[in-house]
Amino acid sequence: MADNPLLARHGEALDLFTERVHAIRPDQWDDPTPCTEWTVRDLVNHLAVEQMWVPPLVRDGETIAEQGDSFDGDLLGEDPVAAWEEAAAAAREAFTAPGALERTVGLSFGETPAAEYCAETTIDAAVHAWDLARAIGADERIPKALVDFSVRAVAPYAADLEKSGMFAAAIEPPQGADAQTRLLALLGREA
């Protein structure tokens, strides 16, 4: 994994989000996040469900349509930290399996190279780690290699993100902003 930059960034993003999940106090699960419609629990559930999709799509070659609504709703159960850890471990295992990144996955918008799918989940985990940190008062820093990777991956299609309905409009970063602040602004977040 260490010799594959994409898998290294993916693992780093999962580890970062895991650190933030472990920092959630019991009284913070219903707190708001920068994702205006989500509480802390909603945000962790979103990322856990995103990881739950990886094994059937990447390892098993199933499509979203074949999975149906099996990943709808709150799937964190009574132990949200354990649910996150299990989902993250399963996604990591699926993406690091021999040949996994050479496969094609059937996403809602069509056939996509598994490597692109891995990059998308990596960026999502990194940026949502910032959202979670902001919500719970934890360290908001994203490692430089992860920020640089995310900026390079997002920049080509950043203008279309707002149209998806899943991202806020990009905002203008302050003059002289660092790379993390620029990444967050690109994704509609004010650092």
Higher pLDDT, 162 or 57: 57
Q: CA 4, CA 150: separation in Å to the nearest integer?
A: 16
Q: CA 119, CA 114: separation in Å to the nearest integer?
A: 9
Q: State the CB neighbour count (10 A cutoff) for residue 188.
A: 17
Element (H, E) at 130: helix 114-136
pTM (2 d.p.): 0.91
**Mean per-residue pLDDT of the chain:** 89
Average pLDDT estimate for 100-119? 91
Average pLDDT estimate for 133-150? 95
Asked if residue 159 has pLDDT above 70, the reply is no
Are 24 and 40 in contact, with CB atoms under 8 Å apart?
Answer: yes
Highest mean pLDDT among 2-6, 15-19, 109-113: 15-19
pLDDT tens-place string over residues 72-100 = 778 899 999 999 999 999 999 999 999 99
